[in-house]
């Protein structure tokens, strides 16, 4: 449903789309014979303005499809409420960043570097009525009827379009989240309604342990919109009481996984069936700052093609070179921050903590401000803080959280510098995950499926300070020197008690670990941690992740 390739193609809301882009980039880098299908949202996902009082405006992010994508002539039709709706398509080709293929030698299916096409489906074509042209207007913008209509376009339309584009011989269809799982129904039709014939070539990844993140539609609505597209045994596949897109995907997949070890287990419990896990990764070339790229090019031969080298070689990076590259990236970020900072600019010599993410309740972005007196006591003059993050405009609670954080930053004025940068997107993320010293992440345990921004930080030698959830359970276990944890691994306390304990531990970590280590003469321990963090990226990269998919789901 979303892909986050870059800020100028705003067809994504957050981590799900950014991850999809990274996996496809790595598929291209590895010369895998893959293609990706998504939707061309005409009005891009939401530009955030922050008013002086901390309240926010969100408006469509207009973008230029003609400039960013190539229109292809192919057309297919899907049935929606009994009428034919025409679906067109655009393409963007991802080319390999690296010479040669990691899979050549493994032979059979790997092809030479033809690139990975990303197809953007679109109903905004002259053949359609104005009403149907508007189906692909906005990502996550409509009601249930609009959502299921969009999912018909993506699922049924996606398979048909791949056929029309000449991809007749597809071995595996991988469903990334349940939004696209109608594709199984189109395959059922192609394959004489034999479940097993569909199941053997489908695989599925679930991306959230939060109930509301899984689309469910009432059968009245589903029959009205999808009609004959639903097979006679749909309730057996997708649930008796409501059509669950996740159940549908799982029923017709030979392999299902979550996106971190803990998320695989949580999902198994939630859906009461065995669900494996493949821990996410980020594309190591995409997310390394220009300064780090230069450093790695000089010191870590072959890191672009073989990111495992980051694990093997990062410990040998000389301290002075690493610090210089980091400070350069930090300077870039602080230049941006200071452009809006007025008379109290951020300093390159002060420990800089960044915390940026889509603002939703479970991520608890306000945890740092639980006890302002304590924060003042710990951080006065010793830390500066940068935030960014958008809320969904229908989520008043999260918009209020942002406003409240901004109000609290005024209370700390004169003591701790705090900036809230508007309009978090991958371009801003790149500056933040490379230019900060510490990456702060405070999700409620068992709610963060994986998280990927912390991996981007590691790659740039930025140290994670995070509650143990999602990928960080694994990262911290692999190398506790690569950053810090907040609070215990699991908690049986109430959410409010847990919040108090986590906040208290966050202040303690800052006071006794993070701030002193940053300020020790020579920063030896800090620099060692930076190298350990980079080392973790030998594992938490998207090349490893895609190859794990290849081994477990596509072979």
Residue ranges that bind ligand PLP, judged by CB under 6 A: 14-15, 18, 357-358, 424-426, 429, 451-454, 456
Smallest separation (angstroms) from ligand PLP to the CB of 219? 33
CB atoms within 10 A of CB 284: 31
- 103's CB contacts (< 8 A; 6+ apart) are 30, 31, 32, 109, 110, 550
Pick 27 or 259: Cβ nearer ligand PLP: 259
Smallest separation (angstroms) from ligand PLP to the CB of 283? 11
Smallest separation (angstroms) from ligand PLP to the CB of 235? 34
- 320's CB contacts (< 8 A; 6+ apart) are none
**Closest-approach residue to ligand PLP (CB):** 15
* Cα dist from 388 to 155, 344, 357, 406, whole Å: 33, 19, 7, 11
Residue corresponding to tokens 């941006």: 336
Pick 128 or 425: Cβ nearer ligand PLP: 425
Pick 426 or 475: Cβ nearer ligand PLP: 426
> What token pair was written down for 514?
């993070």
Smallest separation (angstroms) from ligand PLP to the CB of 454? 6
In this structure, the chain runs to a length of 555
Number of Cα atoms under 13 Å in the Cβ half of residue 118: 25
Smallest separation (angstroms) from ligand PLP to the CB of 153? 25
Which stretch of DSSP H or E encloses residue 39? strand 36-39
Residue corresponding to tokens 């971190």: 260
Pick 124 or 469: Cβ nearer ligand PLP: 469
Pick 388 or 530: Cβ nearer ligand PLP: 388
Pick 406 or 429: Cβ nearer ligand PLP: 429
Smallest separation (angstroms) from ligand PLP to the CB of 147? 21
Identify any residues that bridge with 540 across adjacent strands, giving them in sequence order. none
Pick 76 or 285: Cβ nearer ligand PLP: 285
φ, ψ of residue 339 to 5 degrees: the values are -60, -25
Residue corresponding to tokens 């939707």: 39
Smallest separation (angstroms) from ligand PLP to the CB of 10? 10
Residue 36's nearest CA partner among 91, 73, 87 is 91
* Inter-residue contact 347 to 432 (CB < 8 Å): no
Smallest separation (angstroms) from ligand PLP to the CB of 131? 32
In angstroms, the CA 286 to CA 367 distance is 30
Pick 65 or 263: Cβ nearer ligand PLP: 263
């Amino acid at each position: 449903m979303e892909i986050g390739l870059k800020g100028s193609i705003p067809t994504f809301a957050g981590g799900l789309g950014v991850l999809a882009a990274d996996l496809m980039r790595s598929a291209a880098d590895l010369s895998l014979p893959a293609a990706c299908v998504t939707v061309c949202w005409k009005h891009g996902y939401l530009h955030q303005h922050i008013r002086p009082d901390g309240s926010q405006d969100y408006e469509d992010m207009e973008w230029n499809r003609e400039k960013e994508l190539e229109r292809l002539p192919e057309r297919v039709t899907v049935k929606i409420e009994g009428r034919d709706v025409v679906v067109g398509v655009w393409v963007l080709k991802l080319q390999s960043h690296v010479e040669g293929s990691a899979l050549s030698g493994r032979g059979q299916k790997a092809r030479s570097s033809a690139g990975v096409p990303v197809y953007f489906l679109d109903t905004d074509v002259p053949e359609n009525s104005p009403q149907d042209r508007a189906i692909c207007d906005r990502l996550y913008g409509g009601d249930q009827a609009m959502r299921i209509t969009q999912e018909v376009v993506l699922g049924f339309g996606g398979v048909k379009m791949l056929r029309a584009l000449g991809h007749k011989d597809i071995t595996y269809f991988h469903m990334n989240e349940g939004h696209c799982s109608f594709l199984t129904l189109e395959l059922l039709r192609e394959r004489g309604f034999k479940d097993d014939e569909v199941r053997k070539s489908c695989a599925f990844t679930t991306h959230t342990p939060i109930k509301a993140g899984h689309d469910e539609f009432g059968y009245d609505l589903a029959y009205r919109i999808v009609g004959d597209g639903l097979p006679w045994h749909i309730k057996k596949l997708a649930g008796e009481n409501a059509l669950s897109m996740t159940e549908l995907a799982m029923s017709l997949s030979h392999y299902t996984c979550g996106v971190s070890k803990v998320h695989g287990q949580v999902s198994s419990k939630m859906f009461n069936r065995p669900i494996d896990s493949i821990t996410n990764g980020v594309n190591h070339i995409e997310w390394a700052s220009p300064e780090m790229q230069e450093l790695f090019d000089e010191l870590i031969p072959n890191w672009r093609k073989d990111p495992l080298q980051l694990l093997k070689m990062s410990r040998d990076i000389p301290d002075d070179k690493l610090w210089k590259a980091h400070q350069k990236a930090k300077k870039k970020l602080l230049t941006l921050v200071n452009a809006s900072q007025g008379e109290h600019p951020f300093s390159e010599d002060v420990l800089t903590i960044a915390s940026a993410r889509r603002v939703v309740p479970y991520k608890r972005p306000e945890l740092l401000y639980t006890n302002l007196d304590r924060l003042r006591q710990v951080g006065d003059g010793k830390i500066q803080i940068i935030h960014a993050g958008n809320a969904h405009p229908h989520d008043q609670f999260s918009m209020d959280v942002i406003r409240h954080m901004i109000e609290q930053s005024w209370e700390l004025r004169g003591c701790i510098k705090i900036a809230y940068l508007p309009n978090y997107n991958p371009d801003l993320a790149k500056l933040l995950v490379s230019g900060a010293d510490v990456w702060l992440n405070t999700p409620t345990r068992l709610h963060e499926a994986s998280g990927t921004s912390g991996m981007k930080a590691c790659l740039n030698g930025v140290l994670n300070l995070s509650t143990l959830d999602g990928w960080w359970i694994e990262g911290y276990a692999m190398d506790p020197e690569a950053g810090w944890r907040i609070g215990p691994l699991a908690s049986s306390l109430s959410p409010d008690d847990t919040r108090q304990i986590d906040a208290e531990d966050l202040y303690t970590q800052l006071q006794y670990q993070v701030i002193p280590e940053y300020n020790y003469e020579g920063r030896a321990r800090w620099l060692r941690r930076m190298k350990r963090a980079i080392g973790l990226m030998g594992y938490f990269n998207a090349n490893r992740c895609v190859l794990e998919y290849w081994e477990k789901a596509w072979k």
